[in-house]
Amino acid sequence: MIFVTGGAGFIGANFALDWLQEHDEPVVNIDKLTYAGNLESLVTLQEDSRHIFAHADIGDTVLIPELLAKYQPRAIINFAAESHVDRSIHSPEDFIQTNVVGTFNLLESVRAYWSKLDEQEKADFRFLHVSTDEVYGSLAKDDPAFTELHQYEPNSPYSASKAASDHLVRSYHHTYGLPVLTTNCSNNYGPYHFPEKLIPLMIVNALAGKSLPIYGDGQQIRDWLYVKDHCSAIRRVIEAGITGETYNVGGWNEKPNIEIVHTVCALLDELRPRDDKKSYTEQITFVTDRLGHDRRYAIDARKIERELGWKPAETFDTGIRKTVQWYLDNQEWVANVQSGAYRDWVETNYADRS
């Protein structure tokens, strides 16, 4: 079986769901259930004996070794992290605790488990660390996209904490021989995305008649990948990646934020028109920029394509249409994640932006 950490979050939940559609190999899903962890995303696996949920922190040096000893996984995919840049600006400490200290403790637990395996099991074992393109910093307009050789220049507490975790993972390969793999992926979007991030926030706010807050001039560029393509890339890296290597994963979909929001509005205008028949773009508001806002990310995904034969299946047009439709079809999921804690966060992040 495999372990997935952070599997009640956005990408981890999509990964667990897709994995069990593709394989019969069981998944032990380890999640601390922070504000971002949502068991409702996994409700279709409730009766599925191939999915075992364990409520635990990756940094727990008692529970994680117990789970490893009990289930004897052949691979671990580490999604667990604090993942939202704006939250890292307001309160960076959780990011250091989970992304740095938590990853370190997890690596130590895994190293102790792995070192006792027999030689064949040791060689076959995989620890895949899921990271981000944000560790590479910000690109100027005409700079070439990030390759795996691009130097690390993280700019936010989030990306700095992810960079630190990537370095720890790398060192466990170099020093101890732990068979690790690292993926650095661009911005994901798709089902089960918590509505604090750009795309789901815009869909949810638009439907609620609220403003669509664009930071700064809206010309910041991100490289968007449909979440299920990220999941297929991770499956491919687990299957055929060379240990110690890193693989950049991206969708070849660079778009300025303002264009993303216009696309979302156009789809909503078509699929769920406003009562007054005006466009949802009327709700767009430009607000004070994010501190230290990275201008552009872009992934050069040629290595994973060349060496592992992976390519995204969705274009942005097909992926964003599926995403908007998913939110329209899953209003109950959306309503249930907008708890008091969610409303407090919206107040914290947006109240001071003029």
Q: Using the rule CB under 6 A, is 57 a contact of ligand NAD?
A: yes
Q: Using the rule CB under 6 A, is 213 a contact of ligand TYD?
A: yes
Q: Which of residues 157-196 bind ligand TYD (CB under 6 A)?
A: 187
Measured from the CB atom, the residue of 290 and 311 that comes closer to ligand TYD is 290
The active-site residue, picked from 158, 192, 226, 297, is 158
Q: Using the rule CB under 6 A, is 210 a contact of ligand TYD?
A: no
Q: Which of residues 255-314 bind ligand TYD (CB under 6 A)?
A: 257, 290
Q: Using the rule CB under 6 A, is 312 a contact of ligand NAD?
A: no
The active-site residue, picked from 31, 57, 82, 133, is 133
Burial track 19-40 (b if 16+ CB lie within 10 A, e otherwise): bbeeeeebbbbbbbebbbbbee
Q: Using the rule CB under 6 A, is 222 a contact of ligand NAD?
A: no
Q: Using the rule CB under 6 A, is 29 a contact of ligand NAD?
A: no
Task: Choose the one of ligand TYD, ligand NAD, none that binds residue 85, judging by a C-beta under 5 to 8 angstroms depending on kind.
Answer: ligand TYD
Task: Choose the one of ligand NAD, ligand TYD, none that binds residue 37, judging by a C-beta under 5 to 8 angstroms depending on kind.
Answer: ligand NAD
**What are the catalytic residues?**
133-134, 158
Residues that bind ligand NAD (CB under 6 A): 5-6, 8-12, 31-34, 36-37, 57-59, 79-83, 98, 102, 130, 132, 162, 185, 187-188, 194
Residues that bind ligand TYD (CB under 6 A): 85, 187, 197-198, 201, 213-215, 220, 222, 257, 290
